[in-house]
Copies of this chain bind each other. A is one copy, B any other.
Amino acid sequence: MLRLDTRSDDFARKFDRVVNDRRESDADIAQTVRDILARVKARGDEAVADYTARFDRYTFARDEDWVITPETCKAAFDALDPKLREALELAADRIRAYHEAQLPADRDYTDDAGVRLGAKWSAVDAAGLYVPGGRAAYPSSLLMNAIPAKVAGVERLVITTPTPKGEVNTLVLAAAHLAGVSEIWRVGGAQAIGALAYGTDRIKPVDVITGPGNAWVAEAKRQLYGVVGIDMVAGPSEILVIADGQNDPDWIAADLLSQAEHDPSSQSILITDDHTFAERVEDRVDVQCAMLSTSTVARKSWDDNGVIIKVQSLDEAPALANRLAAEHVELAVDNPDALFAQLRHAGSVFLGRYTPEAVGDYVAGPNHVLPTGRRARFSSGLSVLDFMKRTSFIALDENSIGKIGPAAVALAEVEGLPAHANSVKVRLK
């Protein structure tokens, strides 16, 4: 864990290092992924079956081995403990409500020159959702990906998920039922992304691919960006907690650990103006961490990537937060709006002392798929817009082309595009 103080002479240099530290494995998997994608493109299902046997030790002996049926998902949902089922339903309802309010409005108007202009939004035809296997398979992630697609109006929602040695995660299947997903393929890794993008005999291609995955999945999505739409390039995640000394150190320690327990490469950063409070939080992190079943991961994340930044005043915090452009930012103060107004770059912000980041992971409603690794400088969390696209439109008539057409002719001619000019000229007068 790194301790910084804005009064130190070398603060700027050390803070720069925190900002620029990528925490990302630079293993050269790009070539492996290129090979997998090329083979899936050329050989289709045969390649998918080969890779699944090799990487997941799962063999497609019969047709029905390829899929998980809606009936299986419904059975998983019906078998849920009632309390858990209610929790999932509450989450789904709140996520749906937040994303429904996000739906964009079409535009259609006629301006002063008599030109009709506008934009019409439509959903993509098909979306593929990647769901990781093993411990990173979260029902909450399924809801966060599938519900915005459904709200956008996507007709075909496809899940691909690895089932190593045939094992399935029943919670994820229950969430798939709740979200209304009915097409699930037992395929994972880069081969699943290739199948979704290019299509195979069995798996029809999709238009957009979202969802978390390991480094191979992420690289496959990156390589196929442009062939299909993707949600984002994801990296290790992070939390920045900005807290004054009036917080309960146990609460803030819990928040820092909730990020740290995700992955050893996760990062938790505390900015505070109270030195004694900082020390107390540090102590509470140690005490709480020892009691967690995830303590090994959380400990390593905090030791390797944790940072506590002591500032003279919280007025210094927004500038530092904008440099960090963190995925999650908590403002644990009495009047968070003053600080929030100065935040320009953040994935999601949690206002006040009673808003731990974890409520955003599950039940608050906004999407928990958020830009990581400083990408909040230029990108946004997942939304219905990721499953929609906009078609602009223009309508002129005999009068309005007379008003704006001559300018188009002048510009086309000077750009050396005579056929452009001609297509307007023939309609003038």
Q: Digit string of A76-90 for contact with B (CB within 8 Å is 1, else 0)?
A: 000000011011101
From 381 to 424 in chain A, residues with beta carbon under 8 angstroms from any chain B beta carbon are 381, 383, 385, 389-398, 400-401, 404-408, 410-412, 414-424
Q: Which of B226, B358, B394, B424 contacts A424 (CB 8 A)?
A: B358
Stretch at the interface among A65-73, A312-320, A372-380: A372-380
* Residue A362 interfacial (CB < 8 Å): yes
From 111 to 143 in chain A, residues with beta carbon under 8 angstroms from any chain B beta carbon are 111, 113, 115-117, 119-120, 122, 124-125, 135, 138-140
Cβ contacts under 8 Å, A261 to chain B: 417-420
Q: Which of B226, B294, B352 contacts A417 (CB 8 A)?
A: B294
Is B357 in contact with A423, judged by CB distance below 8 angstroms?
yes
* Residue A309 interfacial (CB < 8 Å): no
* Residue A304 interfacial (CB < 8 Å): no
- Interchain residue pairs with CB less than 8 A apart (8): A117-B365, A135-B416, A226-B232, A345-B391, A348-B394, A349-B392, A351-B394, A366-B392
* Residue A163 interfacial (CB < 8 Å): no
Is A90 in contact with B351, judged by CB distance below 8 angstroms?
no
What are the nearest 3 A-B pairs in CB distance? A226-B233, A229-B378, A351-B395
Q: Which of B207, B254, B407, B419 contacts A363 (CB 8 A)?
A: B407
Is A427 in contact with B354, judged by CB distance below 8 angstroms?
yes
* Residue A29 interfacial (CB < 8 Å): no
Instruction: Using CB atoms, name the residue of chain B closest to A30.
Output: B34
Is A411 in contact with B362, judged by CB distance below 8 angstroms?
yes
Instruction: Say yes or no: A90-B407 contact (C-beta < 8 A), given A139-B415, A171-B414.
Output: yes
Instruction: Say yes or no: A393-B349 contact (C-beta < 8 A), given A229-B379, A293-B416, A359-B405.
Output: yes
Is A378 in contact with B422, judged by CB distance below 8 angstroms?
no
Chain A residues within CB distance 8 Å of chain B: 83-84, 86-88, 90-91, 94, 97-98, 101-102, 107, 109, 111, 113, 115-117, 119-120, 122, 124-125, 135, 138-140, 171, 207-208, 222, 225-226, 228-229, 232-233, 248, 250-251, 254-255, 257-258, 260-262, 288, 292-294, 298, 336, 340, 343-367, 370-371, 375-381, 383, 385, 389-398, 400-401, 404-408, 410-412, 414-424, 426-427
Is B87 in contact with A410, judged by CB distance below 8 angstroms?
yes
The main secondary structure of chain A at its interface with chain B is mixed
Is B101 in contact with A107, judged by CB distance below 8 angstroms?
yes
Cβ contacts under 8 Å, A260 to chain B: 419
Is B393 in contact with A348, judged by CB distance below 8 angstroms?
yes
A421 to nearest B CB, angstroms?
7
The complex places the Cα of A352 from the Cα of B401 at a distance, in Å, of: 12
Known contacts A84-B414, A251-B426; can you find 11 more A-B pairs with CB under 8 A?
Answer: A90-B407, A101-B107, A229-B378, A251-B423, A251-B427, A345-B391, A351-B393, A359-B424, A361-B420, A362-B411, A378-B389
Instruction: Say yes or no: A355-B394 contact (C-beta < 8 A), given A115-B364, A380-B389, A389-B380.
Output: yes
The complex places the Cα of A389 from the Cα of B345 at a distance, in Å, of: 8
Q: Which of B101, B140, B416 contacts A294 (CB 8 A)?
A: B416
Cβ contacts under 8 Å, A248 to chain B: 426
The complex places the Cα of A139 from the Cα of B408 at a distance, in Å, of: 12
Is B396 in contact with A355, judged by CB distance below 8 angstroms?
yes
Instruction: Say yes or no: A391-B347 contact (C-beta < 8 A), given A117-B364, A363-B408, A407-B90.
Output: yes
Instruction: Using CB atoms, name the residue of chain B closest to A259.
Output: B419
The complex places the Cα of A293 from the Cα of B421 at a distance, in Å, of: 12
Cβ contacts under 8 Å, A426 to chain B: 248, 250-251, 254
A80 to nearest B CB, angstroms?
9
Instruction: Using CB atoms, name the residue of chain B closest to A381.
Output: B392
Cβ contacts under 8 Å, A351 to chain B: 116, 393-395
